[in-house]
Structure 1
Amino acid sequence: MTEETDKRGSAEEHGQDKQDPEEGVQPRGKWANNMEFILSMAGEIIGLGNVWRFPYLCYKNGGGVFLIPYCVFLFCCGIPVFFLETALGQYTSEGGVTAWRKICPMFEGVGIASQVIVIYLNIYYIVVLAWAIFYLINSFKSPLPWSSCANPWNTDVCFSRPGLFANPELFNKDSNWSFLHNISASGYEDYYSNFNETFLLKVSSPEEEFWENRVLRMSHGSGLGDVHWDLALCLLFAWVICYFCIWKGIKTTGKVVYFTATFPYLMLFILFIRGVTLPGAADGLKYYLKPNFSKLAEPNVWCDAGTQVFFSYAVCQGVLTALGSYNKYNNNCYKDCLVLCCLNSATSIFAGFAVFSIIGFMAHDLNIPISDVTASGPGLAFIAYPRALSLLPGSSFWAVLFFLMILFLGLDSQFVCVESLATAITDLFPSRLRRPGAREILVLVIAVTCFLLGLPFVTEGGIGLFRIVDTFGPSGTSLLLIACAETLVVSWVYGADRFYDNIEDMIGYRPSPVLKYCWMFVTPLICVATLLYNLATDSPQSVYSELFGSSASTIAALLIATPLICIPVYIFIALRRDPNNMTTPSKDLRQVSPDKPVLTLCNLVIFQAQRRPNRNPEERNTKTAEELTSFGID
């Protein structure tokens, strides 16, 4: 790096705010070191989806073959958008809304749309942590309350099959099987052979009944019903933890992630070691990775791969921009993004080994097909995996480890989302919210508001509402359209070459030119193609009307339309406010090569340099001299 670059970086490192200082207004903070940024980003992108969604999609869509479409979407969409958002935050030193306002005022709505998605996540995602806390509390009981049918919430059709591994004494000669209606061990096999199909369709496992009748307590009528106050207390406790993780800003967030981002890896590794040493684990791993190349011809496989990449990399939510905005100006965010993307995908694959080794053991122990115990989402975390853990000796110990892992996997994703929203709001009103004590009050208001809005999810009908918001809140439709807008704005409106110049000014070299063409052509085309396929094949109304009545389609439409409508609304606002400067970047942004074309293609100039309006030569020279003086250059 040159002496001039070092001086420039030094000026930026000390929190140059690019705004007129006001009395009592605190400067914008920076990460204490690069490791805090790395761990915060890792905590956000590595979450529950790595454990309960990727392994299921992998086995469902051709095993190891699923990695082919997954990698295609990763390199063509995931990494380009991930790096774009992170670099944008670092360059502008602004949150998810004001960053877009500064590079292109007309598309401030793109940032607003991403914050609406973050609001959805802040409200409903933490409900999973409330469930995890509820299970964690019950994991200290022995025997585990979901391992038997002798509980008040169990029904007459509850049936528990004891496992040989955890209960070998039950399979000895003359064992006592009185808990199965006085059936002896010698009659155990005959007992199962006499089941008729009607009874098999009616029976339910104790794990399912604990989840449905004890945790969710679902009502069979329409509407939300009563609030379950024990779950509400778990939700409140989750919000208290979340609040104190981030109430002081990145000063606390950067320290907390040292634990919350690394502890789940320790738990996952312990569960993996335990899983692969169990009988039947090899069958589970084979089922997980066995390639089926015929699946590559199915469009659903490619759609699932794209959806997984967008969800697991937290793109189009403004979170990456917010976290990147706290970097020092000359941080090598390009290298950081590549490392984080590799870490995220490797974690997903490794989590599959931990999950399917346990599932293979459970299928072996209960002598049932693996397909009967595979599940995704809450079904894996709160039914299938607890069932497998209850079959192990010392089941309470393993259950505590598992739900601690679930809690911390979700916790850092949750409080980073809250941090992103707080950052965006603070950057919108810096003169008011960067004063002493304002940060704590803002985060408290966000926490209390989201807690109250989250109470409907812990009611009798809350699981139906949860599924609707989970599907249509941060939906594939919304994320694909926002990703398409982001790449088109940066590459064709702001100018891909100008953005490359900005990145080179920050990190000292130009990234791979492949990213430029992904932003310009590949990523938007893939997003549009995937979106059209989703719209042509999905029928959400018929699926979710059973879960939440006739209003399900209305709720789904509102959830999708609310963020997307922000984009055209803010285009109209910019048109009314200042039609001559709708695409003009802020004067605060450093442009090292203002006279270079903003976009070229195959050495052909597509768009010339964009001149800033109302700046005569004398004023421009004066401004340049002031910039050089601020960096210590005479």
Structure 2
Amino acid sequence: MAQREQWGSRVGFVLAAVGSAIGLGNIWRFPYMAYENGGGAFLIPYIFALLTAGIPFMIMEFGLGHKFRGSAPKVFRSLGSKWEFLGWMQVLVAFVISVYYVAVIGWTINYTGFALNQAWGADPKGFFFGEYLGLTGSPMELGGIRWSILGACTLAWGVTWLAITSGVRKGIERACKVLIPLLFVLVLVLIFRVVSLPGAMTGLDFLFKPDFSKLADFSVWADAYGQIFFSLSIGFAIMLAYSSYLPKEADINNNAAMTVFINCGFSMLAGVMIFAVLGHMAHETNQAVSDVAGAGVGLAFITIPTAINTMPAPVFFGTLFFLCLTMAGVSSHISIVEAVSSSFIDKFGIDRKKTASIVCGLGFALTVIFTTGGGLLILDIVDHFINNLCILSLALAEIILMSYVVGLEDIRSHANATSDFTVGNLWNICLKVVTVGVLGYTFIMNVITDSGTPYGGYANADLIALGWSLLPVAFILSLVLKQKQAAPGFSNNR
């Protein structure tokens, strides 16, 4: 069997891991989560979650990937052949994410061009939903293909294909060495520009002014843990694959801590950038910051363009902002597709270029659905259930398996053996008690909420077809893939 590829340097690996973790959610989800959950006070549960769940889980996944030298299915098979299906479930969820996530990257690419002349006009909301998306009235009413979106998605898939087929060192590592430093530079340039605008400090005060009464609400703590898990790319195959390319002497614990801290630091920077802009927008339109604050797609493609219209040098800010979104999205997309591709390479021994071409080709074909008039509605349902049901359930299954079935001691010893600092019993407790408890609570509450009230007011038939069915379908397909004959070297260790 061919020798496994390796990262060219520690910096290259950390930047790639950070590139995976830093995605669109850091920019449009974290600021709103902080604002909604106590402002500056939210940093207390957020940092607590970072220390008790983010870093411990990352160390565990880095340790697993490094020890068993494989993608998610190979790692879980190494823990016991009956657990291989769990790795495939993570891979299939990652594949679904890659299919719709690239549609949003396509939007950011288009909007980078729109920013050159504020093509969204005086009514960014009407432009986005109408002229640009051609939004239909139902997820099952696809409408026509929006060709500008399809073209941008083609470009994004092409960049990902090029990075994956070029290999770990020459493709992914090189891409992330350019994308991530440039992303940080652009965000810092934007912050330097926007904090001097009228009203910016009001926006920052609104974001960071602490409301300590929120700390008594357990849902705030659950949201902090949820944000950590959603933003770190843990629990769905990516970090297992990336860490499998580390050299044998790699510092597991330090790499994990650096990845988590850099990712969370970027979230803080994004919060400063977004709320400085919102503060200026509120000042210019004589509104309260609370009236203009938002999250998700609406923030990125409606609120920010509206804010850009009120700013001096709108071309400068608009172009850089959407470039930042594009780079954050592309670096994450590369990591997601690598997690999928590496799994099929490991299992079936197919060469990298052929595997990546099949994965990217199939992914692109399915992405076409999200470039139609009903694409946003389909994306909304799929993304909700992927985040609130699939990722949480698989991360919970992984941590329960490791904590109470397989045991954490071997992985802890393996990680400590090559690390500058070691983790002890407190690490075990954080994973077995804190992480299991919070993930379990959050998952159960999500299921109860979605079972009681149809998400987004969509028809139950749409929610079943596009949402509730995802996990059962992934389970069935994972069993099929598990039964397929593997290439020599896949069933190693145990």
TM class, shorter-length: over 0.9
Task: Report the equivalent of 1:616.
Answer: none
CA distance in 1, matches of 2:418, 2:348: 26
The one of 177, 191, 196 equivalent to 1:258 is 177
Deviation string 1:386-433 (CA, Å, 9 cap, x unpaired) is: 111122222122211111111101000001111111111101122xx2
Deviation string 1:498-519 (CA, Å, 9 cap, x unpaired) is: 2233334444874232112223
Moved over 6 A (4+): 570-574
The one of 121, 128, 138 equivalent to 1:211 is 128
> Residue 403 of structure 1: SS of its match in structure 2?
helix
CA distance in 2, matches of 1:118, 1:343: 23
Deviation string 1:475-500 (CA, Å, 9 cap, x unpaired) is: 23322322222223223333322223
Cα displacement (A) at 1:332: 0.4
Q: Could you tell me whether the CA contact under 8 Å between 1:316 and 1:479 is conserved in 2?
A: yes
Once structures 1 and 2 are overlaid, which stretch shifts more, 66-75 or 369-378? Answer: 66-75
Task: Report the equivalent of 1:559.
Answer: 470
Cα displacement (A) at 1:541: 5.4
CA distance in 1, matches of 2:215, 2:480: 41
Equivalent residues in 2 for 1:330-341, closer than 5 Å? 330-341=249-260
Q: Is 1:60 the equivalent of 2:14?
A: no
More relative contact order, 1 or 2 (CA 8 Å, 6+ apart): 2
Deviation string 1:607-633 (CA, Å, 9 cap, x unpaired) is: xxxxx8xxxxxxxxxxxxxxxxxxxxx
The one of 154, 161, 168 equivalent to 1:236 is 154
Unaligned runs of 5+ in 1: 1-20, 149-205, 578-585, 590-611, 613-634
Deviation string 1:100-142 (CA, Å, 9 cap, x unpaired) is: 101222211221111111111110001111101111122223x
Distance 1:572 1:131, change over 3 A: closer
CA distance in 2, matches of 1:549, 1:211: 27
Cα displacement (A) at 1:571: 13
Q: Could you tell me whether the CA contact under 8 Å between 2:63 and 2:252 is conserved in 1?
A: yes
Q: Is 1:224 the equivalent of 2:136?
A: no
Q: Is 1:403 the equivalent of 2:322?
A: yes
> Residue 198 of structure 2: SS of its match in structure 1?
coil
> Residue 234 of structure 2: SS of its match in structure 1?
coil
Aligned residues: 489
Q: Is 1:128 the equivalent of 2:104?
A: yes
> Residue 408 of structure 2: SS of its match in structure 1?
helix
CA distance in 1, matches of 2:61, 2:492: 19
CA distance in 2, matches of 1:235, 1:121: 14
CA distance in 1, matches of 2:307, 2:483: 56
Task: Report the equivalent of 2:401.
Answer: 489
Unaligned runs of 5+ in 2: none
> Residue 97 of structure 1: SS of its match in structure 2?
helix
> Residue 328 of structure 1: SS of its match in structure 2?
coil
Q: Could you tell me whether the CA contact under 8 Å between 2:222 and 2:438 is conserved in 1?
A: no
Task: Report the equivalent of 2:284.
Answer: 365
Equivalent residues in 2 for 1:459-498, closer than 5 Å? 459-473=372-386, 475-498=387-410
CA distance in 1, matches of 2:415, 2:73: 20
Deviation string 1:350-388 (CA, Å, 9 cap, x unpaired) is: 211111011100100111111221111111111111111
CA distance in 2, matches of 1:372, 1:388: 13
CA distance in 2, matches of 1:566, 1:587: 19
Task: Report the equivalent of 1:346.
Answer: 265
TM-score (norm 1): 0.73
Q: Could you tell me whether the CA contact under 8 Å between 2:20 and 2:335 is conserved in 1?
A: yes
CA distance in 1, matches of 2:312, 2:88: 51
Q: Could you tell me whether the CA contact under 8 Å between 2:105 and 2:329 is conserved in 1?
A: yes
Task: Report the equivalent of 1:110.
Answer: 86
Task: Report the equivalent of 1:27.
Answer: 3
Task: Report the equivalent of 2:247.
Answer: 328
Cα displacement (A) at 1:300: 3.1
Task: Report the equivalent of 1:11.
Answer: none
Cα displacement (A) at 1:242: 1.6
Residue identity matched to 2:101: Y
Q: Percent of pairs identical after alignment?
A: 29
Residue identity matched to 2:125: E
The one of 349, 358, 361 equivalent to 1:445 is 358
